[in-house]
Structure 1
Amino acid sequence: MTFLHIILVALTQGITEFLPVSSSGHLILLPKLTGTTDQGQFIDVAVHVGTLGAVILYFRRDVALALRGTPDALAGRLDAPGARLALGLMIATIPIIFVGAILHFTGLSDALRSIKVIAWTMLGFGLVLYWADRTGGNVKQVGDWTLRDAVIMGLWQVLALIPGTSRSGITITGARLLGFGREDGARLAMLMSIPTIAASGILLSADAAISADAESIHNGMLAAGLSFLSALAALALMMRFLRSVSFTPYVIYRVILGLVLLAIAYG
């Protein structure tokens, strides 16, 4: 891989991972639209590690609370601080791990990696996000997150396995329809990304480690660092903008990109 290619992949992953615009869709489109080769699983794992570090750092207080509450959650003591959050994150992650493993080991995930699929999901789920953002309530906060909410948001998250859907976008959609405000819905969606990204990285790392060499490790470290910095910046900006701006700008971007991709796919 060239240095420029590494930068493009890392910045694409970092900037789009937590914005509701689909990082996987952009990573699939990158080689198709630029003529570059696929970056390979090792780089994929590296940039995911970078974004995982960014979200853990940004939400470090929530992460620490959930970690402290994990033993109590496993013991069934849900009145302890952080226990409900920890159990909710566990429950919300189960559906996507189960379905994701099926798609990975059956090879169905590769069948979905097409411009047509990304175009339709980018457009369709962008409009669904707009509808949810306009009709959803603002009556719930993160502290009101119930196990029922975790199950529902976990099922919404499964749709993110379709390239172009956006994991953050679809979980925010579910949160808004459940009545969570924009900031709180986004916060839950970001916290849900931590076990999901970690599980995805573990699934891919075994295959990636086999083909790793000195050059791959060097490129991976560079990609991880760049994706960490870009993801942290994008996440901070989005959370700040949500105090005064809706998700409409992201929807507009998704619609325009979706229409352009439809024109390319069917043209």
Structure 2
Amino acid sequence: MDIATLLGLVIGMTVVVMAILVGSDLWIFLNLPGFLIVVAGTFAATLIKFPINQVFVAFKDGTKAAFINEKSDPKTLITIALDLARKARKGGLLALESVEIENDFFKKGIQMCVDGQNAAVIRKAMTSEMELTIQRHAEGSKIFRGIGDSAPAFGMIGTLVGLVQMLSSMEDPKTIGPAMAIALLTTLYGALIANLIALPIADKLESKTDTERMTRSLIIDSVVEIQAGQNPRVLAQLLQVYLPENQRHLAELEEEEAAAE
């Protein structure tokens, strides 16, 4: 669970609700027709802009990126890679067949090693899968940005509809104020959907795509070097570039551990 997303949503909604409650009643900010104009209109525009299969894949990827926190950090992956390299050096690549690996991408690469694929085939297959995943995430981010663009526009459309309805029935001046308030609610709904949901999810997808590109590149380099029978100490030196400067002591510790063995 990505606590940051949940915390951001809770704080954002709490701030808006508290601001409403300080000066008025929450119920006057609820308008079902206006909400439907924004949500249905935005969804319709999204379907016009993008193929329907991409839209539903984007919703799935966006939800996963927003609420699920992947545990495959570079430090953990390097530790796994060095352990696999030591086992492969001692018992051969077939010794890796029974090793439990949680990361599916890493597991698939090691299985290709066990199956006897050469380094070029492994790198090509894994790189292609990585690029396709990144492309899918990029499309998802583009779709959520499209939602972020459309929601405020349909909020304004809803406001214009409300204003037309208000101006067409001005016999009673006392109804002008409440009618104007209702007309403006769709603008609020559009702004909230865009700036509290759609655009933040698009940014998070981009951020996690960059992280996934790095971790998968690390995994590809690890698998190829393990397939080649690389010395764990050399592998540690090759992989430490994926770590921040303040964590690169891990590689040195692994080198010492491997040397001691």
Q: Which structure ranks higher in relative contact order (CA pairs < 8 Å, sequence separation ≥ 6)?
A: 1
What TM-score do you get using the length of structure 2 for normalisation?
0.26
Instruction: Return the structure number with greater helix share.
Output: 2
What TM-score do you get using the length of structure 1 for normalisation?
0.26
